[in-house]
Amino acid sequence: MTLAIALRGDTHRYRENTIPALRSAFAAGADVVAVDLRTTADGHTVLLQDDTLERPWGPPLPVASLTLAELAASGPEVEQRVPTLMEALAETAVRPSAALMLNVPTADTALAADTQVRELGAVDRVLFTGAADALATLRAHSPNAAIALTWDRPSLPPGDLWQALRPRYYSTDHRLLTRELVAEVQRHGYAVAAWTVNDFPEMVRMVGMGVDAIITENTADLVSLTGDPRRLHAARDAPDDRGTARDLRRSGYGG
């Protein structure tokens, strides 16, 4: 099975990282929604991609300087306001198999999010990703947290990073993946996630390689592929002649 991960929800219809965007993505068949987290001045974890409110609403106010009440008051529309992590987790609780991928930029945000996830009993519905130092702090605090190691370089992460994070997923730019690379990473016990795949033929190619998850902004296209067994089988049987194998053992990622 290839998981369909909607990047920040259904952003074609709603503002990213909002509850309507999450609901729409899950309704369209997404298995997971990837969201961005920030922390308010009074310690609440909220869904927002940027450090400030400039892109959502105009004022360049730092999120870290605002209380949750001030943040809520800054949005003109109730449904399109910045939601809390608690609200987002509630959306997964009422949907079988629904989950969130939480992008944590700092150690403080990672720890705050992990505490809330555990208090709400949502550990099995969350996958953490984000800055390597934030994930390292999270791993030291939470040995059982599910982590996706995100990497955007042609060379693989160093061995000590694999060993420190003990990730469940290796998440990388789809253009860096080959069939051989996917198979080798999986052979060492890691799942593979590809981002950000918006072109349907490239989705087919990724499925054909055997990736475990695809992150996209075009959820409906991806779900039409991953939700149809006939299309999945056809994609996996298709040849892939792009790229060459790399020697992954040099990175030490196998532990």
Give pLDDT tens digits for 54-90. Answer: 887 778 899 999 999 998 887 666 667 899 999 999 9
Question: What's the pLDDT at 47?
Answer: 97
Q: Calculate mean pLDDT across residues 170-199.
A: 97
Structure confidence at residue 252 (pLDDT): 39
Does residue 22 contact residue 13 with C-beta atoms inside 8 Å?
no
Q: Say what the pLDDT of residue 75 is.
A: 66
Q: How far apart (Å, rounded) are the C-alpha atoms in residues 169 and 162?
A: 11
To which residue do tokens 């150690």 refer? 107
Per-residue three-class SS string for 183-244: HHHHHCCCEEEEECCCCHHHHHHHHHHCCCEEEECCHHHHHHHHCCHHHHHHHHHCCCCCCC
248 pLDDT higher than 60: no
Q: Determine the pLDDT at residue 133.
A: 97
39 forms beta bridges with 45
Read off the pLDDT band of 243 (50, 70, 90): very low
Q: What are phi and psi of 7, to 5 degrees?
A: -75, 110
- Please check the confidence at residue 230 and state whether its pLDDT lies above 80: no
**This prediction's pTM:** 0.91
The CA distances from residue 102 to 69, 115, 227, in Å, are 22, 13, 24
Q: Write the class of the CATH domain 147-255.
A: alpha beta
Q: Is the pLDDT of residue 247 over 80?
A: no
What is the residue-wise DSSP string for 12-68? TTS-TTSHHHHHHHHHTT-SEEEEEEEE-TTS-EEE-SSSBSHHHHS---BGGGS-H
- 181 SS3 class: helix
User: In the chain, what are the domain boundaries?
Assistant: 10-125, 147-255
For residues 56 and 64, what is the distance between their CA atoms, to the nearest angstrom?
A: 15
According to the model, what pLDDT value does residue 235 have? 72
Task: Judge contact between 9 and 16, C-beta under 8 A.
Answer: yes
Q: How far apart are CA 175 and CA 12, in angstroms?
A: 24
Contact 193, 215 (CB under 8 A): yes
Q: Supply the angle between the helices 107-119 and 132-141 in degrees, to the nearest 10.
A: 40
Listed residue (59, 37, 40) closest to 50, CA to CA: 37
Confidence (pLDDT) at 220? 96
* Domains 10-125 and 147-255 in one fold: yes
| pLDDT score for 250 | 36
> Encoding tokens for residue 42?
């009074």
**pLDDT over 70 (residue 27):** yes
| Alpha helix stretches (DSSP H) within 81-141 | 85-93, 107-119, 132-141
In CATH, the architecture of 10-125 is Alpha-Beta Barrel (3.20)
- Residues 134-182: tens digit of each pLDDT: 999 999 999 999 999 999 998 899 999 999 999 999 999 999 999 999 9
